[in-house]
Structure 1
C-alpha cells in the first residue's frame, strides 16, 4: 500500500513539474556569442572652407575666405576616457606675411555620465613670417633683409607663435540641449609679451530629427559668449596696455552624413581703434581696423573617424 501511494505521488509530482515547466519561457542554451575585440585606437580627420576665419571675434584672414584641415589620432583607455593628439592648419593673412597657422595640440577627455571634460595644451605656430615695419618710421625690426615693410605705420614681430593650456566642460541635459564652459590661458599671448586669458560659456540646441522626416538632415542652434583678458605688451610694441574685450556668436547649422553647414553671426565690443592695436591690420588706415566688427560667416566642413567608416 505504501509503495503504491509513493508511486502515485511520484507520478503526480512529475506531472505537476512538467506542467509548471511548460508555463515558463523556454531557455535554449547555445554556444556563447563571439567576443568582439575592442579597438582602442581611432583617428578623426576632416577639413572645411569658410568665408572668413574668425578667432574669438577677430578675423584672421583679412575678412577673406580661408581653408582648414585637421588630423587627430585618439586612444580610448576605456569608453569614458580618451587621450588624443592632433594637428591642423588654417590659411591666414597676417601683417608679418606668415604662411599659415599650424596648430599642434594634445590632451585628455574624461566623461562622467552627462558631463564631459577636455583638458590639454594647444600650440599656435605661424611659420614663414617676417618682421613687419613701417616705411614711414623704420627701426622696430633688427634686420632690414628680413623685414616686410607696411605703409600704414603698423609693426608686427616675425614670430607670433604661442601656446595655451585649456580646460572645457560640457553637460548634456538630454538629446536636445547641452551647455558648457571653456577657459584658456597663455603666458605670452600671440608673442605680445603679455599673459592672455579667455573664458566663455557655450550652448547648443539640437533640432528634433523628426522635423526633417527621413531625409537624413539634422540641424542645431548654438552660441557662445566669451571674454578675452590681455595686459601690457613688451618693448617691441611700445609697452602699451592691450584692451580686454567681449565677443559673442550665434549660428544655425545643418548636418548631412559627414557634412556640416554652419551659418553664424559674430561680433565684439572692441572699438576700431582698439581692434587696430590688437591686430596690426596691414590693410587699414593705421588708426582703425574693421577686423573685429560684426559679420556673418558661412563654413562648410566634413568630419570623419576611421571607426565610423569601418
Structure 2
C-alpha cells in the first residue's frame, strides 16, 4: 500500500509540473498583432510673418495664421485617399474674409516614387467688388455695388475670386537624406479672372542625419523650389478698366497677364510635432506687371510702366521677402495613441 501511495504522489507531482510548464509556455506567447486600421486624421496649425503663395504675398506682407484638418483612408501602406479643409488669414484687394481651401485626392507610392493627384478649391468668402464707375469704359453697365466702391489707386477687383486647380506631384526619395520632386497645377480661371493658369516647379530637400544634434530630438532640413507660372488673358472686367499706353482706349478683350518665375530656399528645424521654417522667396515679376496681376490696393504711382500696366502704379507684393513660419502637425494614429 505504501508503494502505491508513493506512486500516486509521484504521478500527481509530475502532472502538476507539466501543467505549470504548459502555463509558462502560454504566458510567453506574443500577443496577436493589432488589426490594421485604415483610417487616420492629420491636422495642424501655423503662424507666419508673411503668407506667400508662389512668390506673391497673400497677406500684404503682414502676419498670417493657418490651420488644416485632413481625414485619410489607407487602402494599404502604398495607397491613400484623402480629403481636407484648410484656412488662412489674408489681406486681398476685395476685402475677402479669409481663404478657405477644400481639397481631396489620392497618394499612391511605388517604391521610391510617391505621387499625389487631386483637386484643390480656393474659396474667398466675404469679398466686395471694387470698380468705381456705374459703367465700364466700353459703356457696359456694372452692378450698383461696383459703382459705389473704388480703390484709390485705380485698380479694380471682383467680388468673388474663388477658383479651383487640378494638380499632380511626384517625389523621388534617393535615400534617407535626399528627396527631389516635380509639381504641376492647372486652372481654367486663376482667381476667377478668366485667365487660365499653369504652374510647374521642381523641388529638392536635404534632411540632416538624425544624429546631427545628438540625442536632443531636433531635426533639420534644407529645401528649395523653382517654379514658373504661366497665365492667360483675363476677361473684360479687368481689361476695360485700364487705358492703353497710347491713350486710344481700354483693353476690351482683357489683359494678357505676364508669365513669371518664382523661387524659394530655406532651412527648417523640427522637434516632435513642431517645425520652424525660415525661408527666402522671390519672383522676376516687375512692380508694374505685379500690379496688373494682383490689383494691389496698396500699390502707389511710382513710375512702374509696362504694356499691361500703363498707369505707372506699381506693387511690392511680388518682390523678395523673408518668411518665418512656426507650424504644428499631428496625425491621430501616430501622435494621439
Deviation, 1:285, is 1.2
Displacement of 1:236 after TM fit? Answer: 0.3
* Alignment correspondent of 1:245: 260
CA distance in 1, matches of 2:160, 2:284: 27
Query: 1:297 Cα deviation (Å)?
Result: 0.8
Mapped to 2, the partners of 1:144 and 1:45 lie a distance apart of 42
Q: Distance in 1 between matches of 2:149 and 2:199?
A: 30
2:41 and 2:100 map into 1 onto residues whose CA distance is 19
Write out aligned runs for 1:135-174 (5 A).
139-140=135-136, 142-145=142-145, 148-174=149-175
Alignment of 1:100-115 (within 5 A): 100-115=98-113
Instruction: Provide the residue aligned with 2:176 in structure 1.
Output: 175
Measure how far apart 1:31 and its partner are.
4.7
Contact conserved, 2:129 with 2:145, CA < 8 A, in 1? no
Distance in 2 (alpha carbons) for counterparts of 1:258 and 1:191: 36
Q: 1:93 to 1:138 in 2, by over 3 A?
A: farther
Residue matched to 1:79: 77
User: What's 2:212 paired with?
Assistant: 211
Q: Distance in 2 between matches of 1:200 and 1:158?
A: 30
Q: What corresponds to 1:300 in structure 2? A: 326
Q: Shift of residue 144 of structure 1?
A: 3.0
When normalised by structure 2's length, the TM-score is 0.81
Partner of 1:25: none
Q: Could you tell me how far 1:149 is from its partner in structure 2?
A: 2.5
How much has 1:33 moved relative to structure 2?
3.9
Separation in 1 of the partners of 2:65 and 2:149?
A: 24
Structure 1 residue 210 displacement after superposition: 1.3
SS in 2 for 1:226: strand
Give 3-state SS (helix, strand or coil) of 1:103's partner: strand
Contact preservation (8 Å) 1:133, 1:139: no
2:21 corresponds in structure 1 to: none
CA deviations 1:104-143 (Å, max 9, x no partner) are 0000000011110000000000000010124xx5645833
Ranges in structure 2 where 5+ consecutive residues have no aligned partner: 1-24, 240-253, 302-312
Written as runs of structure 1 = structure 2, the 5 A alignment for 1:1-310 is: 31=29, 33-134=31-132, 139-140=135-136, 142-145=142-145, 148-238=149-239, 239-285=254-300, 287-308=313-334, 309-310=336-337
In 2, distance between residues paired with 1:278 and 1:148? 20
CA–CA distance in 1 between the matches of 2:145 and 2:172? 53
Note if contact 1:96-1:148 (Cα within 8 Å) is conserved in structure 2: no
Q: How many angstroms apart in 1 are the aligned matches of 2:222 and 2:173?
A: 15
Report SS of the residue matched to 2:324: strand
2:319 alignment partner, SS class:
coil
User: Any idea what the Cα deviations from partners look like across 1:124-174, whole Å, max 9, x if unmatched?
Assistant: 00000010124xx56458333465421110100100100000000000000
TM-score by length of 1: 0.88
3-state DSSP of counterpart to 1:211: coil
Unaligned runs of 5+ in 1: 1-27
